[in-house]
DNA sequence: AATGAATGAGGATTCATTCAT
DNA sequence: CATGAATGAATCCTCATTCAT
């Protein structure tokens, strides 16, 4: 349907503009009018798609978080052995964070800020389940340390956020070899040392 | 001098109010008038101590960052062996992040947001030098992996930020044993495996 | 014609919605979109029946005013003696104001507000002629005081508006006996005392 | 105090501007910016004196209502005989409504509109007590009909509102003789006919 | 040094109205 | 006829900042 498609396009344009502007200027310095202008719609049009500014940001967060996890697990298969499975997920996450850094930056800002509703935050966490399942399996098989999911995430995944931000700021530029090192550091920090 | 002390107190009250309010509401929802009220001064008084809102936040950031590094290195001695030195610094940082979580939360928000001047950000990084020196020594002695400082920080230190936020949100509560596990994970991820 | 009837129904629904909403929320808090919703049509449809918001309110006023006077004179016969004729009209007006208080409230709001065009106001007054004629006859016959029509209206009719509003607000509830007292007060205030 | 006086002046200017503009254009067509301009202050200044637009109108209503009753009872003495007392009050009210028609018009608009809080409305009614007391005395002494206060007000006082509006619209112009007639009509409608 | 009153610029949001379908 | 999506212009209100005292 042409009309429906146009609606979806507009909504997406708004979401994209929100990400772009919040990334560059921060939530506080991103007026609705600027979002509207970047999305090539009238300010009033935003309110056809979102209840208010908070809702726009919440929905944007959920959408981005969801595309993050979709990306992360796109090539993962539950039947893979633990280490291989982890490697695949980790590298997809790394790719997302370092290549789709616009999205990743936005998520980092949301996750470290009272910018987002608690409800939306909870909603966003849900989709990480396959990784938690993998870790559970790894622990049962004695391959992964008996640490809480938070601890595992902190050491295996979260460093990527830091590297992503450093790369965005131009402080570093990770090449394939360094990425491999990073992966190994991640795996080392959670695997059971034989 | 009583007058000077009163000035310092006022300045500190403003800094504290800024941290408190930005932590709870975010930069965008923290008006100067609210900061003034919490610090028990007139809005106009803020401008005797700081040029404008941006300056207030920048200065607050630098001050907090500096108290973070002061705390981190307070018990460190350059003559200690690398592993011991690292342990001491790491545990001080952990203590700071988990016990002084008000300050740590503020820093996390600044570090993931365009809230702060680039200049202030650079200023804040400076004070980390002793840790970088330690790592340089560790690499030379073959005890620490040949990774960039960013990579080392990402794996050895940054996970603590994630754990701090999770703990603030009430998702976890780290006890001494878990803290020790976290330390070991940190060291494992950067040490050269023999 | 079914099509014509549907049109009339829609127009009436819009008029009714306007009365209802203006009564409850006031003109200033009654958006066209709300009127449309209550009348179960699209906002755009309003503009097929009325030029704009002002026109909608003007037309509504004229319509209600006209149904008020129709009601007032429905049972009146010019050949009745003055006092009987007045009683009949007065009691019809009372019934309208107290029973059809939705309409009466709307009129009261229009009459005390710059909500309505001067032209529409003039248009609305026209229909009161039979009452003015009756008064003229009463004055000629020496039964009614030599007062201007405004004065007569002020004392004989307008008090009903006040009582209607008080009753709407729940402050009073007029029974038949009190209504009769009210009628007598009205007649007393304009009749020539012998 | 010069500063305090200036504050009071500003507040009064805002109240006056509100009355003037709401009278002419109605609540819905009176933007805060226009009120500010007429009172020669910045729009933001209004919010130093009033919480919001609703509060401004509520407070204006209470203030005007209060000056109405002050005026009404200024020359009244509780020890006067009932009829004389009523005449004095009635004529003061008439003078207020016809001479201070700006205030009276504003009150009429508030009283026939959902423009005002119920609470403010209640607050405004309070001050009418001396008149109600007089009526109670009149009823006890057998001089005034045994009617509810609402009914008495409807016939003795409210007609003045109608006459005031008619005079404002230029439809009539009451001279002293007509005013005396109006007074007599008022008294006739509530006095016990001997 | 300190203040509280004052403000202009700007931001979120609403709304009467239009237009493509 | 009828509509729902779209909008530009306004409106209420906030806030960083200033200034007279």
pLDDT tens sequence across A4-30: 788 889 999 999 999 999 999 999 899
Name the pLDDT band for B189 (thresholds 50, 70, 90): confident
Q: Please report, rounded to a whole number, the percentage of residues in chain C having pLDDT higher than 90.
A: 84
Distance CA C36, CA C40 (A): 6
Q: Can you give the pLDDT at residue C2? A: 67
Q: Tell me, what's the pLDDT at D1?
A: 53
Judge whether A122 is closer than 8 Å to chain B, CB to CB. Answer: no
Q: Which residue is nearest to nucleotide F20 (CA to C1')?
A: D3
Whether C1 shows a pLDDT value over 60: the answer reads: no
Instruction: For residues D145-174, give the mean pLDDT.
Output: 93
Strand F atom within 7 Å of C145 CB: no
pLDDT for residue D139: 97
Per-residue pLDDT, B75: 97
- Report how far Cα A33 is from the mean position of its chain's Cα atoms: 26
Q: Looking at chain A, which residue has its C-alpha nearest residue B162?
A: A154
Considering the domain C54-190 in this protein, what is its CATH number? 1.10.357.10
The pLDDT value recorded for residue A1 is: 52
Residue C118 has pLDDT above 60, yes or no: yes
Which chain A residues 27-56 have CB under 7 A to strand F? 41-45, 47-48
Nucleic acid strand E: bases within 7 A of protein CB: 1-21
Whole-number pLDDT of residue B5:
79
d(C-alpha D192, C-alpha D187), whole Å:
9
Is pLDDT above 70 for B183?
Answer: yes
pLDDT digits (tens, 9 = 90+) for C68-86: 999 999 999 999 999 999 9
Mean of the pLDDT values across residues C113-117?
92
**What architecture (CATH level 2) is domain D1-50?**
Orthogonal Bundle (1.10)
**What does residue B109 show for φ and ψ, rounded to 5 degrees?**
-65, -40
What are the structural domain ranges in chain B?
A: 1-49, 53-190
How many Å apart are CA B174 and CA B172, to the nearest integer?
Answer: 6
Q: Which residue is nearest to nucleotide F21 (CA to C1')?
A: D3
Locate the chain C residue with the closest alpha carbon to D172.
C150
Out of A159, A178, A188, name the one closest to residue B158 (CB): A159
Best residue in B18, B122, B172, B185 for a mutation probing chain A (most A CBs within 10 Å): B185
Lowest-pLDDT choice from B2-16, C46-60, D57-71, D120-134: B2-16
Q: Are C1-49 and C54-190 equal in CATH topology? A: no
The per-residue pLDDT of chain D, averaged, comes to 94
Distance A3 CA to E19 C1' (A): 14
At A18, list the tokens. Answer: 């929100």
C171/D150 Cβ within 8 A:
yes
Mean pLDDT of the B154-175 span? 92
Is the distance from CB of A182 to CB of B187 less than 8 angstroms? no
> What DSSP designation does B191 have?
B
- Verify if strand F has an atom below 7 Å from the CB of D113: no
Give pLDDT, residue D193.
Answer: 79
Homologous superfamily, domain D53-190: Tetracycline Repressor, domain 2 (1.10.357.10)
Which residues, given as ranges, of chain A have pLDDT below 70?
Answer: 1-2, 194
Q: Which two tokens stand for residue D119?
A: 């609470």
Contacts of D151 in chain C (CB under 8 A): 163, 178, 181-182, 185
pLDDT in tens, B18-34: 999 999 999 989 999 99
Tens of pLDDT, residues D34-73: 999 999 999 999 999 999 999 999 999 999 999 999 999 9
CA–C1' gap, C32 and E21, in angstroms? 22
How far is residue A49's CA from residue A61's CA, in Å, rounded to a whole number?
15
For residue C131, CA distances in Å to A107, C83, C153, D163 come to 75, 12, 9, 18
Q: What's the confidence (pLDDT) of residue A193?
A: 80
Percentage of chain D modeled with pLDDT above 90? 84
C-alpha distances (whole Å) from B70 to each of A148, B74, B189, D54 are 31, 6, 25, 53
Q: What is the third-level CATH fold of C1-49?
A: Arc Repressor Mutant, subunit A (1.10.10)
Give the pLDDT confidence score for residue B188 in this predicted structure.
87
Q: Express each pLDDT in B81-97 by its tens digit.
A: 999 999 999 999 999 99
């Amino acid at each position: 349907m042409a009309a429906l498609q146009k609606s979806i396009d507009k909504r997406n344009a708004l979401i994209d503009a929100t990400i772009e502007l919040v990334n560059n200027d921060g939530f506080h310095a991103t007026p609705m009018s600027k979002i509207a202008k970047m999305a090539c719609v009238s300010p009033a049009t935003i309110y056809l798609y979102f209840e208010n500014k908070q809702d726009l940001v919440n929905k944007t967060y959920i959408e981005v978080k969801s595309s993050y996890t979709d990306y992360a697990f796109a090539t993962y298969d539950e039947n893979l052995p633990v280490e291989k499975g982890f490697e695949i997920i980790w590298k997809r996450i790394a790719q997302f964070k370092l290549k789709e850094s616009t999205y990743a930056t936005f998520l980092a800002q949301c996750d470290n800020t009272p910018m987002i509703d608690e409800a939306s935050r909870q909603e966003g966490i849900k989709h990480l389940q396959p990784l938690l399942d993998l870790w559970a399996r790894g622990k049962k098989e004695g391959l992964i340390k008996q640490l809480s999911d938070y601890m595992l995430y902190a050491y295996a995944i979260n460093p990527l956020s830091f590297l992503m931000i450093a790369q965005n700021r131009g402080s570093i530029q990770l090449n394939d070899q360094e990425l491999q090192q990073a992966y190994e550091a991640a795996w080392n920090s959670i695997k059971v040392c034989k």
